[in-house]
Amino acid sequence: MESENEGSAKTPFKVGILTLSDRSARGERIDTSGPKLRELLTEQLKVAFVVTAYEVIPDERLLIEAKLRSWSDDLHLNLILTTGGTGVAPRDVTPEATLAVIEKQVPGMAEAMRAYSLQKTPMAVISRAVVGIRGSTLIVNLPGSPKGATESLEAIIRALPHAVEKISGDPTDCA
């Protein structure tokens, strides 16, 4: 019998990791959050998550929206993890871009990430991360720091296979 965190996917889930950082996009800083997310996602779960898209772009709302639409609608990714732009700084626009493209929110995941992170840092209360669905793609906003991004992903990682299966149309009961 399969444990609840192992999932039952027959084919690998296609994942995109989108790093949102002006400095990294200009080549002034190496992105370390995206690679850490890839490592955590592919090593922690027994379900096959394959990162098929990865990109670093600046904190530009329309560019973020276009990338989320393209990866969802054209690449048909099952999961998109964004990292960066979830705070309260003037250039932090990832939640607004995500809200502009999703059809449904998944507030429990965003709440779980904040609650988990709050156990580690009081700064978690200023996270504006959003989780939502566009078509058959789950989009998850994560903080930009490697530590914050991986801790937030850890909070929801066990639920990801089931969520992605349901979003993809799995008709089995959730019991």
Residue in 22, 96, 97 with CA at minimum distance from that of residue 66? 97
Average model confidence (pLDDT) for the chain? 92
DSSP element (H, E) containing 137: strand 137-142
Residue 2 pLDDT > 70: no
Residue 37 pLDDT > 50: yes
Q: Residue 105: its pLDDT value, please?
A: 98
Sheet holding 13-20, edge to edge: 49-57, 13-20, 79-83, 137-142, 131-134, 104-105
Each residue of 95-144: pLDDT tens digit?
A: 999 999 999 999 999 999 999 999 999 999 999 999 999 999 999 999 99
> Which domains are assigned to the chain?
13-167 (3.40.980.10)
Residue 3 pLDDT > 70: no
Residue 47 pLDDT > 80: no
